[in-house]
Structure 1
């Protein structure tokens, strides 16, 4: 089987692009409201791809009971794929709130959480799976 046929690797490639966009957006100094909305959108896309990549990887490892982001995060933490289980659960909870971020204060709070707490844990996952993909 070619790497291109492995579902988690396909998902990783998309996750890699999304987190790259998020990283670029986080380099914007003093983002305005529209830029914060973009940061939040890139965060949402990155998270969706991250948990689905975890799900695909865990399924390849023989775990077929992964049906939700919460179950993927829990199993990945149990398997020592994720180091920061509590941060990932916080990330999931806050991700669920981003759809309800309507005012500038909430957007600013979320942008700071993404910048300071959530991007680093997603970047660590990205780097770990890049190494898995590359056989390191």
Structure 2
């Protein structure tokens, strides 16, 4: 591993970890009002953004060239860094829906997907890279 790139992914992991731990803390709580629901969606958006950038940095540290979130996800799946590439690609597409939290139906569906699909994948990535540190 290139030393500078190795340092970069570890620094990115620290930011990802902070965001992930906040999402983990609040996703477990019963969501009661719009503000709390919007907060979960924003934590997801922030955590997901950091996760694909973390994947990119990690892959570059081990020698891959990655130019986009989609490439980072595909290469991470091929490298067995993540387990379910389809869920990650879906999360990438749903990230764009986070601007529609004013729509109750969209927000509720997104909250369910965050809880049931996306957060478990973020958790697996967190645990895997935490062990590598």
Confirm or deny a common fold (TM above 0.5).
yes
Q: Structure 2: which 5+ residue stretches go unaligned?
A: none
Q: Summarize the alignment of residues 78-97 of structure 1 with structure 2, pairs less than 5 Å apart.
A: 78-97=78-97
Runs of 4+ in 1 over 4 A off after TM superposition: none
Q: Is the partner of 2:71 in helix, strand or coil? A: helix
Q: Is the partner of 1:62 in helix, strand or coil? A: coil
Is the CA contact 1:33–1:107 (under 8 Å) kept in the aligned structure 2?
no
Q: Work out whether 1:14 is the aligned partner of 2:15.
A: yes
C-alpha separation in 2, matches of 1:96 and 1:77: 21
Is the CA contact 1:54–1:72 (under 8 Å) kept in the aligned structure 2?
yes
Counterpart for residue 29 of structure 1: 30
- Post-superposition offset of 1:30: 3.4
Q: Report the aligned-residue RMSD.
A: 1.7
Q: Summarize the alignment of residues 85-124 of structure 1 with structure 2, pairs less than 5 Å apart.
A: 85-124=85-124
Q: Summarize the alignment of residues 62-77 of structure 1 with structure 2, pairs less than 5 Å apart.
A: 62-64=63-65, 66-77=66-77
Q: Structure 1: which 5+ residue stretches go unaligned?
A: none
Q: Is the partner of 2:100 in helix, strand or coil? A: coil
Counterpart for residue 50 of structure 1: 51
- Post-superposition offset of 1:28: 2.1
Is the CA contact 2:26–2:40 (under 8 Å) kept in the aligned structure 1?
yes
The number of equivalent residue pairs is: 131
C-alpha separation in 2, matches of 1:27 and 1:118: 14
TM-score, with normalisation over the residues of structure 1?
Answer: 0.89
